[in-house]
């Protein structure tokens, strides 16, 4: 031990400590990490590019809504006009009667969404949890209705509502969209992922079928309900053909009809029309932001899958 210690280099204060070979050197990054980081950067850039491409019509609509009327087409591809006119939004609100149209659209879409969720939940529960003869065949026929376009049902629906004197009513506007197969199919696929033991335990505790549905099944399928609510609201919000056929009174028009009629009433004032289109996007954006967490949860939980 004394001989080995004496062989170490010394200074005035004693022997030097052993050299640390790792000190002053940095480990080279793993090639896999470099590739994964480059892939992440590339995928992020591609996602932003795709998002920008899809957002371009909305951005251009917003910029057009801020231009003077005589510069909508004369300005070419310039994004801004000679001045920015925020007053176009107020003018569009008053000239188109936007408040009335907004109230009609929100009311119709809200009632349609609530009733669709209730009917689709009961239908999905029957097809997924109840046992009855011919269940699978009936479900296949039910889903096959998704292949039929709306245009095929327009004439029979119109004749039926005319026979019972329901033309130009909210009832005729809302009823046809309540019994679609998409909502029942979506919720059924989600309910099939719920273990049957949960329902059996509830029945042993004395829970009835309505209580099981409302207190156990519905909370577990809440993300799928959020997806269906957003899709149903958007479908009713953007519906044009059926309201155009069934509604005759202008005081019952929804936003799509109002925007279409606004073109003829004002001689196509494009800056005001674009401003009105931007205003119609606000409720939809708010709805998606509010339901964003549930939408992400639905995708992560496999709301579009099932057994």
CA dist., res. 184 & res. 162, Å (int):
28
Query: What confidence tens digit (pLDDT) does each residue in 90-104 have?
Result: 988 888 888 899 999
Q: Is the dihedral of CA 76, 274, 226, 121 positive or negative?
A: negative
- The larger pLDDT score, comparing residue 244 to residue 150, is at 244
Cα–Cα distance, 99 to 62 (Å, whole number): 20
Burial class (CB within 10 angstroms; exposed 0-12, middle 13-18, buried 19+) of 120: buried
Average pLDDT over residues 267-276: 84
Q: Which tens digits make up the pLDDT trace of 237-270?
A: 999 999 999 998 889 999 999 888 876 555 678 8
- Phi/psi at 268 (nearest 5 deg)? 60, 70
Indicate the fold that domain 102-255 takes in CATH.
Answer: MetI-like fold (1.10.3720)
For residues 138 and 180, give the distance between their C-alpha atoms in angstroms, rounded to a whole number.
14
Q: Tell me the chain's radius of gyration from C-alpha atoms.
A: 31
pLDDT tens, position by position, 31-90: 666 678 888 888 889 989 998 998 898 898 899 888 888 888 876 677 787 888 899 899
pLDDT cut 70: percent of the chain above it: 84
pLDDT digits (tens, 9 = 90+) for 182-203: 999 989 988 988 888 888 898 8
Q: Give the DSSP H or E segment for 157.
A: helix 150-163
Is it the case that residue 12 has pLDDT exceeding 60?
no
Residue 200 has a pLDDT of 87
Res 294 pLDDT > 70: yes
What was the pLDDT predicted at 76?
66
117 SS3 class: helix
Q: Is residue 65 a contact partner of residue 81, using CB atoms and an 8 Å limit?
A: no
Instruction: Please say if the pLDDT value at position 131 is more than 90.
Output: no
Rounded-to-integer distance, Cα 261 and Cα 28, Å: 67
Res 25: pLDDT? 53
Q: Is 248 exposed, middle or buried (0-12, 13-18, 19+ CB in 10 A)?
A: exposed
What is the residue-averaged pLDDT of the chain?
Answer: 83
Q: Where along the chain do its domains lie?
A: 102-255
190 Cβ contact partners less than 8 Å away, ≥ 6 residues apart: 124, 221, 223, 224, 298, 301, 302, 303, 306
CB count, 10 Å around CB of 205? 8
């Amino acid at each position: 031990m004394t001989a080995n210690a004496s062989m170490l280099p010394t200074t005035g204060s004693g022997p030097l400590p052993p050299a640390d070979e790792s000190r002053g050197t940095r480990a080279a990054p793993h090639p896999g990490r470099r590739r994964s980081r480059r892939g992440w950067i590339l995928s992020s850039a591609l996602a932003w590019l795709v998002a920008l491409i899809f957002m371009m019509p909305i951005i251009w609509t917003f910029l057009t809504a801020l231009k003077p009327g005589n510069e909508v087409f004369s300005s070419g591809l310039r994004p801004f006009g000679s001045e920015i006119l925020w007053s176009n939004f107020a003018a569009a609100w008053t000239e188109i009667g936007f408040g009335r149209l907004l109230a009609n659209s929100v009311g119709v879409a809200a009632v349609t969404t609530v009733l669709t969720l209730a009917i689709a939940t009961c239908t999905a529960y029957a097809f997924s949890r109840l046992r009855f003869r011919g269940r699978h065949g009936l479900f296949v026929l039910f889903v096959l209705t998704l292949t039929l376009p709306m245009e095929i049902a327009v004439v029979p629906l119109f004749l039926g509502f005319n026979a019972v004197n329901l033309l130009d009513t909210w009832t005729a506007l809302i009823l046809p969209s309540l019994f679609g197969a998409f909502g029942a199919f979506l919720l059924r696929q989600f309910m099939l992922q719920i273990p049957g033991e949960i329902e059996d335990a509830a029945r042993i505790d004395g829970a009835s079928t309505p209580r099981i549905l409302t207190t156990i099944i519905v909370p577990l399928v809440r993300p799928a309900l959020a997806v269906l609510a957003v899709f149903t609201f958007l479908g009713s919000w953007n519906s044009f053909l059926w309201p155009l056929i069934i509604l005759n009174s202008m005081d019952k028009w929804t936003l799509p009809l109002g925007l279409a009629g606004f073109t003829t009433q004002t001689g196509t004032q494009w800056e005001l029309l674009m401003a009105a289109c931007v205003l119609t996007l606000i409720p939809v954006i708010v709805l998606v932001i509010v339901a964003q967490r549930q939408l992400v949860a639905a995708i992560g939980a496999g709301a579009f899958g099932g057994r």
